[in-house]
Amino acid sequence: MRVLVTGGAGFIGSNFVRFVLGVRADWRIVNYDALTYAGNLENLRDVEGDPRYEFVRADVCDAEAAARAVEGCVAVVHFAAESHVDRSIMDSAPFVRTNVVGTQVMLDAARRAGVRRFVHVSTDEVYGSLPLERAEERFTERSPLAPTSPYAASKAASDLMALAAHRTHGQDVIVTRCSNNFGAYQFPEKVIPLFTCNLLGGQRVPLYGDGRNVRDWIHVEDHCEALAAVLEGGRAGEVYNIGADNERSNLELTRALLAIVGKGEEMIERVADRPGHDLRYALDARKIREELGWEATRSAWPSALEHTVAWYREHAGWVERVRSGAYRAYYERQYGER
């Protein structure tokens, strides 16, 4: 089975490529990535020699490139997105372009090429925020969309584009909405790698506000396994929540990281809260468990968090190249500047 993976050089995409090549011997992967600031081919250096793997450097908004890339593919797994909330607050235009227009371009290309299935990878942030005081509440797939950041709004729009393609054109489209991911190869602007790398380097960590904001944390390999299950067995036109029932406040997360690296709370730097900071995300993932038999098995704390910290400690060279921008030289030599 030949599968096009957009954004396959990013954090979740690269983990997905590596995961499926390891567990699906009959899959061939075309990695379609523009290699913007968070796309890093070093993330996949270990699979470059695999004859089942191919890389195409292209933008999801490039209709001609998309049309060429989907030829011969039976499925598309669409990760490519601008994804950092803080960046979307500073400038939302790239989020609308990549997340909304790029999704429309890829959907059109897949439909015209007769691609059998399109999995659109989205986020729990499209649902908005839950109250802290009602801990029993969870977002279900039927919860209304109420995004509060430009990033989340762009993802909600892309979800609706994907579901409209199913309703209007009969495309076999599935939308997945996952909770916060952590694990290896995550770009160190996100909280776990940022805090981990800061602490390992003796720097303080910037904690937003009072640290009470809650997120459901899932290990990236659990997410990848869930996506493979959806791709192979999910129902067309459906939405599947993917979560690990692993809710932690940002303060709990920070304290857990401090304990792992042997640091005290003097390493916490309280900073002004993010504008419009959602209080709590929590997903009801019963649907994917009951329909597809999937559930998270790699996300339990503290062991999963300890293994993640150990990865960043052991890959200090990767961290340094990413933080300095030197990683870009690796693929500029091969593919040229854009």
Here the CATH number for the domain that contains residue 80 is: 3.40.50.720
* Burial of 48 per CB tally in 10 Å (0-12, 13-18, 19+): exposed
The span from the CA of 268 to the CA of 168, in Å, is 51
Q: Which two tokens stand for residue 42?
A: 């070093």
Amino acid at 201: G
Question: How many domains are there within the chain?
Answer: 1
Q: Which residues contact 238 (CB under 8 A, 6 or more apart)?
A: 141, 174, 175
Per-residue pLDDT band for 338 (boundaries 50, 70, 90) equals very low
Asked whether residue 315 is assigned to any structural domain, the reply reads no
Asked whether residue 204 is assigned to any structural domain, the reply reads no
Residue 288, H or E segment: helix 286-292
- Note the pLDDT of residue 298: 97
Asked whether residue 291 is assigned to any structural domain, the reply reads yes
Average pLDDT over residues 61-78: 98
* Burial of 237 per CB tally in 10 Å (0-12, 13-18, 19+): middle
What value does the mean pLDDT of the chain take? 94
Asked whether residue 194 is assigned to any structural domain, the reply reads no
Asked whether residue 198 is assigned to any structural domain, the reply reads no
Q: Which residues contact 106 (CB under 8 A, 6 or more apart)?
A: 6, 60, 66, 70, 76, 78, 80, 118
Q: Which residues contact 111 (CB under 8 A, 6 or more apart)?
A: 165, 169, 171
Average pLDDT over residues 172-183: 98
- Note the pLDDT of residue 39: 87
Asked whether residue 318 is assigned to any structural domain, the reply reads no
- Note the pLDDT of residue 326: 64
Share of the chain above pLDDT 90, in %: 85
Assessment of whether the complete model's pTM goes beyond 0.85 = yes
Q: What is the DSSP letter of 149?
A: S
The span from the CA of 286 to the CA of 156, in Å, is 21
| Residue ranges making up the domain that contains 51 | 2-185+218-245+280-299
Asked whether residue 210 is assigned to any structural domain, the reply reads no
Positions annotated as catalytic residues are 124-125, 151
Per-residue pLDDT band for 331 (boundaries 50, 70, 90) equals low
Asked whether residue 200 is assigned to any structural domain, the reply reads no
